[in-house]
Amino acid sequence: MTPATASQTAGPYWHMIDFPEWADLLRPGSGNEAVAGERITLVGRITDGDGAAVSDALVEIWQAGPDGNYEGAFHGFGRCATNAEGAFRFTTLKPGPVPGRGNAMQAPHIQIAIFARGLMQHVVTRAYFEGEALNATDPVLNLLEDPARRATLVAKSQDDGTWRLDIRLQGNGETVFLEI
């Protein structure tokens, strides 16, 4: 067996592969235009151990469609560059619940991968949705006993369909990152 190739940082100039339209999963030409579901916006701000904005991150999302299917009509991939304030913004449809292992059902969630200068490997986390009944039995959320740690994975509803999940790479309120 040959171990997987070593990861290396994306560096500060990865924007040559930034296509800002990819942050809108419902854009014309996405293939998702005709998929029915609840339109949402996922926003957040990424900060470092000093609370400073991480303004050069590459944020990717991967999610199921509203039917909970990863291989159905909905193409659940998006990419967004953080701006000067460290903020990202995706327009998408709210995912449905997804089967977990065994007979478990996972609460609706969006997988988030972050690449950046200073990250030798990307970090992975999830955005769950506050108030979702299935959160109580979600196998990943339930690995976390500390309510404060658990809360770092749960996006909060703002208004008009906007969900906010701020991400702290290090220090106070550090986001729970996943080994997958």
Partner 1 sequence: MSDPIPYRPLTPGSQPPLDSPAYGSTHKRHPKQPLLRIPQTLTETSAPRFSPERYPVQADMSQVNGRSALGERIIVAGRITDEDGRPQRGVMVEVWQANASGRYHHPRDQHDAPLDPNFEGRARIFTDEDGKYSFVSIKPGAYPWRNHWNAWRPIHIHFGLHGAGFAQRMITQMYFPGDPLLELDPIFQSTPDKAARERLISKFDLEITRPEWALGYRFDIVLRGREATPFENA
Binding site for partner 1 (CB under 8 A): 1-17, 29, 31, 48-50, 52, 54, 56, 60, 62, 64, 70-71, 75-77, 98-102, 106, 109, 111, 113, 115-123, 126, 139-140, 143-144, 169-171, 174-180
* 91 contacts 76 by C-beta, under 8 angstroms: no
Going by C-alpha positions, the residue among 71, 146, 129 that lies closest to residue 138 is: 129
For residue 160, the minimal CB distance to partner 1 (Å) is: 27
Distances (CA, A) of 30 to 24, 35, 108, 112, 145: 8, 11, 22, 19, 39
Integer-rounded Cα Rg, in Å, for the chain is: 16
Report the residue number, 17 or 36, with the smaller CB distance to partner 1.
17
H/E run at residue 65: none
For residue 164, the minimal CB distance to partner 1 (Å) is: 20
Which pair of structure tokens corresponds to residue 150?
């658990």
For residue 125, the minimal CB distance to partner 1 (Å) is: 9
How many whole angstroms separate alpha carbon 100 and alpha carbon 59?
A: 24
Report the residue number, 71 or 160, with the smaller CB distance to partner 1.
71
Report the residue number, 9 or 41, with the smaller CB distance to partner 1.
9
For residue 28, the minimal CB distance to partner 1 (Å) is: 12
Residues in the chain: 180
Report the residue number, 159 or 173, with the smaller CB distance to partner 1.
173
For residue 41, the minimal CB distance to partner 1 (Å) is: 20
Which pair of structure tokens corresponds to residue 61?
């999302």
